[in-house]
Structure 1
Amino acid sequence: MQTDNSYANTFATDSDAELVLPSHPAQAREPQWLAFNAELAGQLGIPESLHTTAAGLGLYSGTELPDWIQPVALGYAGHQFANFVPRLGDGRALLLTEIIAPDGERFDLQLKGSGTTPFSRGGDGKAPLGPVMREFLVSEAMHALGVPTTRALAAVVTGDWVQRDEAQPGAIITRVAKSHLRIGTAQFVAHKITQGADESLRQAFADYVIARHYPLSKDRKHPYRALLRQIIDQQAHTVALWMSLGFVHGVMNTDNMTLSGETIDYGPCAFMENYDPNAVFSAIDRAGRYAYQNQPGIALWNLARLAEAWLPLLAKSGESQQQLIEAATELVHEFPIRYEAYYDQKMAFKLGLNSVTAETQALTRDWLSLLQDHALDYTQSFRQLADTLETNVEHFEKMQSWAAWQQRWHKLLTLQGDSDAVVSARMRQHNPAVIPRNHWVEAAIKQTVASGDLTIFNELTQVLRTPYDVVPLELSRYAEPAAPEKRVTRTFCGT
């Protein structure tokens, strides 16, 4: 297995910058396996000696680290609910190393929940079992759904207790990402420069991002503008996929948006059941800042903060400050254009249509209005819409305006000339049969916390690996919406 520490080696020498600070995990009292992702381990080229072995348990619990591990905590800042916090950082996470996969791609290997770091700010640096299980299930489901995301390699229980509202079992997740660099990292660099760090740190960090994630930007006439544009495009694509799946991140602070475009930090996240543009699940988002329908606008706001952090790098020779600000603003406002293009195409596919027109956009809007007006399940309704090509779906037939909408839909399908079989197949490729529904995630957590039983967790893990396939009959309950009395409407981040 080939490993590296390129980020630490680049920035650890500047201790005043605090981008990288050495730290070590706490000793877990009695670590035990919860889950291991052998498929991901194989893709990363991790040897079997570090799978479900004693050596693997020592690594993923942080209790026995090999000599080639150099654990560090990463510094970053962030706007949390629009309030700037200049020093956040990995308060309960440690970057162990960077793995070079057999295909040459580089990934961070990180422990989360492994104890205090220099950025813990008085916290215990640990993670309860519930949030670890949630992140394992949802991040792997997002990957299977085709969304850029951090992934879960391993999860262990520590044998320790973590005190939150009540004592809970402690756990650690091993997270894999293309990197853990965030918009908040760029903000941290910019803030450090205002506090006396050398201006060269801004360019050094941006150059590292280019080398790590966007090498094509390096040879452009204005490489940092090209870099910002590529990040904007990646974020537009990711958020469009969230929206098409009914996913609510829950805490879109600037420190929770990666520069790679991967979804990160599955704390108070959830998937909508009934379609509701105002859906909020985070227990701390009392004003609805990060509601489902607000996510594209928040992404735009966050990207504006990134442009501010990198503003000196975006300047052209002879350009005035006002011209620079206008140019940066224009760059950032490419986001809604790119987002809408990605979203409209994805929604057209979900309706079985192969191109985007004004008619398909109107059809999508009116379909969502029907779902909202009749309080229908978002995920199931798209899947059942494909069924209407072959049979009647009773609750659609009862919907006011269904017949008129269906007629418009069939007209567009006829114009594109595809058979019902082709349309139905396309729809099933873009509309999952199963998502990690909140009530089942919570049921898995409660079962494991109460008795150590992993039945629901393991069955959910299994069915979520192939979310677009027909769900086996014996697991079909995981595709069903929650009964009203079982709905989980509030989730927590676990800090």
Structure 2
Amino acid sequence: MDSLADAPPRLFDLGVGWKHSFAALGPAFFTDLVAAPLPSPYLVGVNPRLAADLRLPTDLLQSEDGVSALTGSLPIAGTRPLASVYSGHQFGVWAGQLGDGRALLLGEVESATGPQELQFKGTGRTPYSRMGDGRAVLRSSIREFLGSEAMHGLRIPTTRALSVTGSDAPVRREEIETAAVVVRVAPSFIRFGHFEHFASREQYGELRTLADYVIDRFYPECRATERFGGNAYAAFLEQVSERTAALLARWQAVGFCHGVMNTDNMSILGLTIDYGPFQFLDAFDPNHICNHSDESGRYAYNRQPNVAYWNLFCLGQALLPLIGDEQLTLAALESYKTIFPSELEACMRGKLGLPDAHEDDRVLVERVLQLLAKDRVDYTIFWRRLSHAVATGDPEPVRDQFLDREGFDAWWRDHSARLPAERGATALGMLRTNPKFVLRNHLGELAIRRAKVKDFGGVADLLKVVHAPFDEHPALEDLAGFPPDWASHIEISCSS
């Protein structure tokens, strides 16, 4: 009889087929690893909508073995866990080699929207942990779980989150916290920093392999382009620049602050990635810094568009050995400067209910943003109330938010003059553009406090509203109110 030591390890079968296209790039790109188990894992939240897209049965994920598998404590059949290596600029300074310090890519599965990679975050040390413990804490894991789904609900390109699980295992940060694991989902987790890594080491063969993989998989049109004399790598850089420009326009329009826009936190697919110290604006302050660790204000809300271009410039430098021409590389970045403002203007016209472009629209937008900043008006509530005011013709609920009533009245008259005669349809479009719910810091904080005592109702309520942020949700009306005074004192840092 075989001994127990000879018995095969117990595996959890999700009932899906796994592929490993990233692993096929070769060992220069990653390290194979096994997740470090966590004791007594428990389910904090699962995303049934995403599970359905991935063709994963929610009841299986919520089972005892499912929770262990989602925590990395029970191996999943067909997966090949690995940590990828990359480098990057952090806060504008070259940081050298970084990599997945606490993340493990499991592989990819088919979904309703094409192949999707699944990745653990928080499953222990990797060769790229840089003296870290490789763990994530409950606090930040809940924020990422809800934050990524909030962005998806707002129709902003983003990584997704399938689940968050917890354990009472202690993790030391500024204080002792408890461990958690998020299962993240995206077509790819490749970042600008992956390209910077191989370029900085003059590993040009690996750089070309990586670029060819991304182009062939995600940007195949670059192979057939006549742009840049048929240079596929320049066309690729241009496409990434344009996706990033469109992403930044949507961030700015909804009042989203990323907080840590390092090059290793920039997705090569133009997705919002790495939810660390992020925030949706409460009072409108263009200079708002959401990251308590950002002492210089590099990643302030109004600086995000320029930082994105700076990061793209770094990507361009990394791709220069493949493009082969400095001027061509600069030309490939140029469209960012036109795409971003045009996309932002289109977003703002939608928020204002303006059906077509007009030469005075930019002035109309700038005027209202100046009024919002002057009186620190709540950004989300202003736009939602404006939508209702267009429907009713009564601006008083909007006007009440301003100290400068005369300034608002003048702006309201000019805005009203630009609206089409059919206000009902216009208002309906605005209500589908201006969300009632965003994931405010204080809402996340309240859900986290409840989760720390094993009450996950706050997480469930927030997941419900962020999945449908333009709906009314009358039973959860309190989640759409003004933030309490203490909300402005919440400090979110890079520690997670």
TM-score (norm 2): 0.92
Secondary structure of the 2:127 match is coil
> How far is the alpha carbon of 1:452 from its aligned partner?
1.3
* More divergent stretch after superposition (328-337 vs 178-187): 328-337
- The 1-side partners of 2:363 and 2:433 are apart by 19
Match of 2:369 in 1: 368
- The 2-side partners of 1:230 and 1:54 are apart by 44
State which of 118, 123, 140 in structure 2 corresponds to 1:114. 123
Match of 1:318 in 2: none
1:493 aligns with 2:494: yes
Match of 1:172 in 2: 181
> How far is the alpha carbon of 1:54 from its aligned partner?
3.0
The question of whether the paired residues in 2 share the 8 Å contact of 1:127 and 1:494 is answered with: no
The question of whether the paired residues in 1 share the 8 Å contact of 2:45 and 2:456 is answered with: no
- The 1-side partners of 2:370 and 2:437 are apart by 22
1:404 aligns with 2:414: no
State which of 240, 244, 259 in structure 1 corresponds to 2:253. 244
- The 2-side partners of 1:66 and 1:431 are apart by 41
1:431 aligns with 2:441: no
The question of whether the paired residues in 2 share the 8 Å contact of 1:433 and 1:471 is answered with: no
- The 2-side partners of 1:477 and 1:49 are apart by 30
- The 2-side partners of 1:486 and 1:209 are apart by 41
Letter in 1 for 2:25: T
1:294 aligns with 2:296: no
Letter in 2 for 1:430: T
Match of 2:279 in 1: 270
The question of whether the paired residues in 2 share the 8 Å contact of 1:127 and 1:172 is answered with: yes
Match of 2:349 in 1: 348
Secondary structure of the 1:95 match is strand
- The 1-side partners of 2:233 and 2:171 are apart by 43
- The 2-side partners of 1:131 and 1:443 are apart by 13
1:283 aligns with 2:292: yes
- The 1-side partners of 2:110 and 2:44 are apart by 26
Match of 2:456 in 1: 454
- The 2-side partners of 1:486 and 1:298 are apart by 27
- The 1-side partners of 2:426 and 2:121 are apart by 43
> How far is the alpha carbon of 1:392 from its aligned partner?
3.2
- The 1-side partners of 2:18 and 2:272 are apart by 24
Letter in 1 for 2:360: E
- The 2-side partners of 1:62 and 1:98 are apart by 16
> How far is the alpha carbon of 1:50 from its aligned partner?
4.2
Distance 1:477 1:29, change over 3 A: same
Instruction: Please list every run of 5 or more consecutive structure 2 residues that lacks an aligned counterpart in the other structure.
Output: 1-15
1:187 aligns with 2:199: no
State which of 10, 17, 27 in structure 1 corresponds to 2:25. 10
Secondary structure of the 1:348 match is helix
Letter in 2 for 1:402: F
The question of whether the paired residues in 2 share the 8 Å contact of 1:32 and 1:159 is answered with: no
The question of whether the paired residues in 2 share the 8 Å contact of 1:95 and 1:108 is answered with: yes
The question of whether the paired residues in 2 share the 8 Å contact of 1:387 and 1:393 is answered with: no
1:479 aligns with 2:480: yes
Match of 2:469 in 1: 467
Secondary structure of the 2:438 match is coil
State which of 319, 331, 334 in structure 2 corresponds to 1:310. 319
Match of 1:124 in 2: 133
Distance 1:489 1:4, change over 3 A: same
Instruction: Please list every run of 5 or more consecutive structure 1 residues that lacks an aligned counterpart in the other structure.
Output: 316-323
- The 2-side partners of 1:162 and 1:274 are apart by 33
**CA deviation vs aligned residue, 1:471-492 (integer Å, no higher than 9, x gap):** 31x3111111212233344212
Secondary structure of the 2:357 match is coil
The question of whether the paired residues in 1 share the 8 Å contact of 2:441 and 2:487 is answered with: no
- Listed as ranges, the matches of 1:387-398 within 5 Å are 387-389=388-390, 390=392, 391-394=394-397, 396=399
**CA deviation vs aligned residue, 1:317-367 (integer Å, no higher than 9, x gap):** xxxxxxx22232232122121011110000000000122232111101101
Secondary structure of the 1:3 match is coil
- Listed as ranges, the matches of 1:8-407 within 5 Å are 8-12=23-27, 17=28, 19-47=29-57, 50-103=60-113, 105-193=114-202, 197=203, 199-220=204-225, 221-315=230-324, 324-389=325-390, 390=392, 391-394=394-397, 396=399, 399-407=405-413
**CA deviation vs aligned residue, 1:173-229 (integer Å, no higher than 9, x gap):** 000011110000010111232xxx3x2222111000112211111222221111111
> How far is the alpha carbon of 1:418 from its aligned partner?
4.3
- The 2-side partners of 1:224 and 1:418 are apart by 48
Runs of 4+ in 1 over 6 A off after TM superposition: none
Secondary structure of the 2:128 match is coil
- The 2-side partners of 1:256 and 1:301 are apart by 13
- State the number of aligned residues: 472
- The 2-side partners of 1:480 and 1:95 are apart by 38
Letter in 2 for 1:88: L
> How far is the alpha carbon of 1:102 from its aligned partner?
4.5
- The 2-side partners of 1:442 and 1:48 are apart by 26
- The 2-side partners of 1:142 and 1:488 are apart by 24
Secondary structure of the 1:376 match is coil
- The 2-side partners of 1:273 and 1:49 are apart by 37
Letter in 2 for 1:453: D
Letter in 2 for 1:432: P
Percent of aligned pairs with the same amino acid: 34
> How far is the alpha carbon of 1:152 from its aligned partner?
0.7
> How far is the alpha carbon of 1:275 from its aligned partner?
0.7
* More divergent stretch after superposition (171-180 vs 42-51): 42-51
**CA deviation vs aligned residue, 1:133-184 (integer Å, no higher than 9, x gap):** 0001111011000010011101111231111111111100000011110000
> How far is the alpha carbon of 1:283 from its aligned partner?
1.2
